Chains A and B, each alone.
Chain A
Amino acid sequence: MNLSLWRLRAGDRCEILGYDDVLPENYRTRMMEFGFHPGEVVACVQSVAFGAPKVYRVSNTIFSLDEEVADHIHVRLVAADA
Chain B
Amino acid sequence: MPKIILIGSPNSGKSLLFNRLTGLHHKVANFPGITVDVGTGKMRDLADTTLVDFPGTYSLQAISAEEKVAVEYFHKALQDPEVEQVLCLIDATRLEKSLYFTLQVIRDCERQQKPVTVLANMIDVLDHHGLSLDVEELSAALQTPVIGVSARTGKGTREILRQIEAVREAVPQPPRAHLLDAPDMLLRGSAHQLARRYGPKGDILVRTQTRLDSFFLHSVTGGFAFFAIMYLLFQSIFTWSAPAMDAVELGLGTLADLVVPLIGGQVAKDFTADALFGGIGAFLVFVPQIFVLTFVIGLLEDSGYMARAALICHKPLRLFGLTGKSFIPMLSGVACAIPGIYAARAIDSPRKRLLTYMAIPLMPCSARLPVYTLLIAAFIPSGTALGGLVGWQGLAMFCIYFFGMFCGLLVTGLISRTSKDHYTDLPFVLELPPYRVPGLGPLLRNAWNRSKHFVTKAGKIIFAVTMVIWVLGYFPNYGTDLGTSWLGYLGRIVEPLFAPLGLDWRYAVAILTSFLAREVFVGTLGTIFGIEAADENMTPLVQQIQASDLAIGSGLALLVFFAIALQCVSTVAILSKESGSGTLALKMFVGYLLLAYAAALAIYHLAALLT
Contact = CB atoms under 8 A, between A and B. Distances in A.
Interface stretch (B205-213, B358-366, B460-468, B521-529): B205-213
Interface in A32-66: 32-35, 37, 40, 45-46, 48-53, 55, 57-66
Interface residues of B, number: 42
Interface string A20-40: 000010110111111101001
Contacts of B398: none
Given A48-B311, A53-B314, A61 B430 contact: no
Contacts of B429: 30-31, 34, 63-65, 69
Contacts of B217: 46, 48, 55
Q: Which of B219, B307, B428 has the most CB of A within 10 A?
A: B428
A18 to B, nearest CB: 15
Contacts, number: 118
Contacts of B192: 35, 37, 40
B97 A59 contact: yes
A49 B428 contact: no
Given A33-B59, A59-B199, A60-B203, A66 B428 contact: yes
A63 B428 CA distance: 10
B199 A32 contact: no
A81 interface: no
Contact of A62 (B95, B195, B209): B209
A64 B432 contact: yes
Given A30-B429, A33-B59, A62 B213 contact: yes
B431 interface: yes
B445 interface: no
B315 interface: yes
B94 A53 contact: no
Contacts of A57: 203, 206, 210
A32 B428 CA distance: 14
B185 to A, nearest CB: 9
Nearest to A48: B217
A30 B63 contact: yes
A29 B190 CA distance: 15
B318 interface: yes
Contacts of A63: 429-432
A61 B427 contact: no
Interface in B128-176: none
Nearest to A69: B427
A64 B209 contact: no
B93 interface: yes
A77 B76 CA distance: 45
Nearest to B432: A62
B123 to A, nearest CB: 15
Contact of B315 (A35, A52, A59, A65): A52
Contacts of B428: 53, 64-66, 68-69
Q: Which of A32, A52, A61 has the most CB of B within 10 A?
A: A61
Given A48-B222, A60-B206, A68-B428, 19 more contacts: A26-B423, A30-B58, A30-B63, A30-B427, A33-B58, A35-B97, A48-B217, A53-B428, A59-B95, A59-B195, A60-B96, A60-B203, A60-B205, A61-B94, A61-B96, A63-B432, A64-B311, A69-B427, A69-B429
